[in-house]
Amino acid sequence: MAEEDFLIDSKTYLKSGIHIGTKFKTSYMDKFIYKVRSDGLKVLNLQKIDERIRVMVDFLLRYNPEDILIVCRRENGWKPVKKLGEMTGIKVIAGRYPPGIMTNPNLRNYMEKKILVVADPWPDRNAINDAMKIGIPVIALCDTNNQSNNIDLVVPCNNKGKKSLGLLFYIFTNEFMKKKGTEFNAELDDFVEE
């Protein structure tokens, strides 16, 4: 991919650290790794990150915003997912996912959703388990050390850094709203934790 084919310029991607993984890797995530740095950190392929963000946007465009749930237990992602929810109308849970809210209609906060997005499959595993019980697709942001079990679409990225998560959800919100024909007027800083 040429620089101009990215959703956002490569310098912005690199500055956010979206491509910096962990020192560990799972066999599934190996295909997204570009190289290993001298300090042992795995570096994700920017082209594959960009491609998977596009796939995620196109996949989620098939659903109405009220049918989508985004869960983020990781504190570094709370600000960007809340901003995304505010701008798109997508339901987000920033913080602890209350188990059973998609599977138990007797709960007062019960909700019916048709697709789930999680910021990290490990801390957000309760939401993935509920999605599996009701048979809805799962999209997960995965770092080099994540497992891909029970995930329908993996979006490779640094899913721990505040700049990385802010940038990813900023790009997603921009693309999602643009393709829905809605005006997007926000800055990257609106999505990134200080």
- Tell me the CATH number at 32: 3.40.50.10490
- Tell me whether residue 133 is in a domain: yes
pLDDT averaged over every residue in the chain: 96
Q: How confident is the model at residue 3 (pLDDT cuts 50, 70, 90)?
A: low
Q: Model confidence over 80-134: pLDDT tens digits?
A: 999 999 999 999 999 999 999 999 999 999 999 999 999 999 999 999 999 999 9
Q: How confident is the model at residue 2 (pLDDT cuts 50, 70, 90)?
A: low
Q: Amino acid letter at 77?
A: G
Number of folded domains in the chain? 1
Q: 162-180 vs 46-60: helix axis angle to the nearest 10? A: 40
22-28 average pLDDT score: 95
- Tell me whether residue 5 is in a domain: no
State which residues form the domain around 66.
Answer: 11-180
